[in-house]
Amino acid sequence: MFFLKASLCIVTYNNRDNISAALGSIIEKTKGTELSVYICDNASSDGTPDIVEKEFPQVTVIRNTENRGFGSGHNTIINVLDSDVHFIVNPDIMLTCDTVTQMCGFMKDNPDIVMAVPKFVYENGREQFTPKLTPTLRYMLGGRFERFGGVFRKWRREYTFADRNVTEVTDVGFCSGCFIAIRTDIFKRVGGFDERYFLYSEDADLTRMAQQHGRTVYTPQFSVIHLWERAYMKSCKYFFIQISSMVKYFWKWRGTKKRKKCE
């Protein structure tokens, strides 16, 4: 059976504690798959790229001289990609099966789909509810203040489909950047990530750009483990970075109508 050629990139910044587990699971579960794996390191000070080069010689390591952000890190390799499907992956992801090959097969069978995300679960198998609708100020507030309950929790659950038993492929307005499958030609056509975002909202922005070329979907039949840490909930620094990115996102897409099928 023919499967599409795949590439996979993880951007790292001081991720020595989890990068070995992430890469180990990816290499182990994709044996026999035509997959090029890249690590784009954003000037880590903890030896992350050294660990990768020592433990995973089959992985291409790119050492950036400064940390210009998540999207910029991923864009480092955009011009060398020759794959059919490109995977954008966080360093806190672990595979339990060959999700890469499975999603490549899905993309091959559905040429109208340009971007897809799997179901995210914790290590104990419990589902994680990440954003799936096109961001609005209401949904962003729900994410930030969910712990206060009431309308904030309602908005967050609506935003993440937490009250919907989604078992089939579903069009979404937001593909979370912790694990994305995107057609490489589309990734290149839109110019990769908008580097004006240092962190946060760049994945929502990429989803909006990709939607101009086809469908963006949630695929619950595929799953990956995500060791989720919502840093912006714990740090003032990351909270202000998130606010800055939200402002950039809403300004960029002001006056643009959301695709009705995604709502």
Which distant-in-sequence residues (6+ apart) come within 8 Å of 155 by Cβ?
Answer: 138, 139, 141, 142
What is the C-alpha to C-alpha distance for residues 20 and 18, in angstroms, rounded to an integer? Answer: 6
Q: What is the mean pLDDT of the chain?
A: 92
Higher pLDDT, 189 or 144: 189
Mind giving me the DSSP string for 186-217?
A: HHHHTTSS-TT-SSSSHHHHHHHHHTTTSEEE
> Environment class of residue 141 by beta-carbon count within 10 Å: exposed (0-12), middle (13-18) or buried (19+)?
middle
Whether 104 shows a pLDDT value over 70: the answer reads yes
d(CA 122, CA 34): 28
Q: Which structural domains are found in the chain, ordered by start? A: 6-132+169-230 (3.90.550.10)
What's the mean pLDDT in 95-113?
Answer: 97
> How many helices and strands, by DSSP H and E, does the chain display?
9, 9
> Please, what is the end-to-end C-alpha distance for the chain in angstroms?
35
| Average pLDDT of the segment spanning 194-213 | 96
The one-letter amino acid code at 178 reads C
* Structure token digits, residue 35: 């997959």
Q: Residues 9-56: pLDDT tens digits?
A: 999 999 999 999 999 999 999 998 889 999 999 999 999 999 999 999
Assign 136 to helix, strand or coil.
Answer: coil
pLDDT score of 201 more than 70 = yes
Residue 260, pLDDT score: 38
d(CA 151, CA 139): 10
DSSP annotation of 61: E
- Evaluate if residue 242 carries a pLDDT over 70: yes
The structure tokens listed for 215 are 């469908």
* DSSP assignments along 38-51, one per residue: EEEEE--SS-HHHH
Question: What integer pLDDT is reported at residue 145 of this predicted model?
Answer: 84
Bridge-based pairing state of the strands 215-226 and 113-121? parallel
pLDDT tens readout for residues 217-232: 999 999 999 997 655 4
